[in-house]
Amino acid sequence: MKRLLSISTLYPAPGKAGFGRFVSRQMEALAARGDWQVTVVNPIGQPPLPLKRYAALKAIPRVELQGEITVHHPRFHLVPGLSGPINPSLIAHAILPLARQLHAEQPFDMVDAQFFYPDGPAAAKVAQALGLPLAIKARGSDIHLWGEKSLARRQMLAAAHQASVLLAVSCALARDMAAMGMPEERIRVHYTGLDRTRFRPLDRAAARQLVSALPGVQVWSEGRLLLCVGALLAIKGQALAIRALPLLPEDIRLVIAGTGADEPALRRLVDQLGLANRVQFLGAVDHDVLPHLLCAADAMVLPSEREGLANAWIEALACGTPVVIPDVGGAREVVQSPSAGRIVARTSEDIARAIVDLLGDPPSQDAVAATAERFSWQANAVELAGIYAEAAAKH
């Protein structure tokens, strides 16, 4: 059995169980195969002075066992809003002693980073110190956002040229990585996975009845329902979905699931447009409720400014809910037929036209779900194990 040291700044922990759940599912699926033993290092950034919004992080244990995976949560110092360009060095300095200790106790075969920034450059320092091959995964904003910042970009390119293999969640993202100057011959497309036992079609009317009755959810039981799932950040484009509502029939309403810094601005926009009776904010949605909510919706709308290949797209499709999304990231790799939904320009007018077209002749839930059949965590793990075994063998 080979041993993997995986470094991820986004990973579930007590008090933030849904944080990076898609990363943990990938690691759990890989570990379940039996050919890779996985150890995760999840660096927790804390400011040198106590700040209220970081207080809950103190309760996270230094190490815990999550199923078959040992997860370490070492701390590193950061300065909110300022230390971004040097966070990879801060992380590497904090976790390298732990990595050396673990490697001495039982040697690893490979180091990987689950995001290109800040994880990638930090993992590169660890891999170099341990003399191990390196894999780095790109997921979207780590390339499109940090890749535009000169210091971060230099660190990312240096790490990319050190790595044995680079993973991209879509072909579109792979092209962006190559255009940025990363070695194209080392880039492999590795699609996201999906928990097919949770995300599957359930009768829409029954799901709607359930989520309309659940305490803390209670969405409208009548009319047609649009759903936005994602962090409430300006780049996710929920404002465009809200602005599309006045252009749609009044029986169409919008439910927004998620939390984030843009929530006050979105609520003000709803009030300004007089849409309080057509827009509902759910906040954070329980992990077990989300599939029912997706099944209850007539369409999922996510007008993001940028994405790699959003898990929310795949989860919606698997539940039989078509998507209305812009031509960003791997959108065209997901929406390959009218049953999957519509790809639109990022304007409220185009979003509204697409929704009218889609809901005017809606595809069956089974037809929509069929468009996501190729996604599963098992398939994700099979491919990942092969990619890593090949990279380790070449080192």
**Residue of 177, 343, 324 lying closest to 252 (CA atoms):** 324
Residue 34 in 3-state DSSP? coil
> Quick one: fold of 204-370?
Rossmann fold (3.40.50)
- Alpha-carbon distance 152 to 350, whole Å? 35
In which band, very low, low, confident or very high, does the pLDDT at 332 lie, cut at 50, 70 and 90? very high
The kind and range of the H/E element at 165 are: strand 165-168
Q: Between the CA of residue 118 and those of 8, 142, 202, 221, what are the distances in Å?
A: 9, 8, 39, 43
Strand partners, 325: 343
- The whole-number pLDDT of residue 48 equals 82
pLDDT for position 14: 86
Asked whether residue 82 carries a pLDDT value surpassing 90, the answer given is: no
Q: What is the pTM of this model?
A: 0.87
Residues in Cβ contact with 57 at an 8 Å cutoff, skipping those fewer than 6 apart:
15, 44, 46
- Given a cut of 80, whether residue 15 has pLDDT beyond it is no
pLDDT at position 47, please? 87
pLDDT of residue 328: 93
| CATH 3.40.50.2000 residue spans of the chain | 2-193+376-394, 204-370
Superfamily of domain 2-193+376-394: Glycogen Phosphorylase B; (3.40.50.2000)
Task: Give SS3 for 262.
Answer: coil
pLDDT tens digits, one per residue of 185-234 = 999 999 999 998 999 999 999 999 999 999 889 999 899 999 999 999 99
Q: In the prediction, which pLDDT does 16 show?
A: 78
Q: Mean pLDDT over residues 136-158, rounded? A: 93
pLDDT score for 314: 96
pLDDT at 91 (0 to 100): 96
Please state, in angstroms and rounded to a whole number, the distance separating the CA atoms of residues 278 and 60: 39
Given this model, what pLDDT does residue 52 score?
79
Taking residues 340-351, report their average pLDDT: 97
Residues in a beta bridge with 70: 39, 65
DSSP for 195-248, please give it.
Answer: -TTTSS---HHHHHHHHHHSTTT---SSSEEEEEES---GGG-HHHHHHHGGGS
Res 268: pLDDT: 97
pLDDT digits (tens, 9 = 90+) for 148-162: 999 999 999 999 999
C-alpha count within 13 angstroms, C-beta hemisphere, residue 309: 27
Q: What is the C-alpha separation between 395 and 331, in angstroms, rounded?
A: 34
Contact 146, 41 (CB under 8 A): no
Write down the pLDDT at residue 394.
Answer: 84
Q: Tell me the pLDDT of the chain averaged across its residues.
A: 94
CB 75, CB 59: distance < 8 Å: no
Residue range 30-75, pLDDT digits in tens? 999 999 999 999 999 988 877 777 778 888 999 999 999 999 999 9
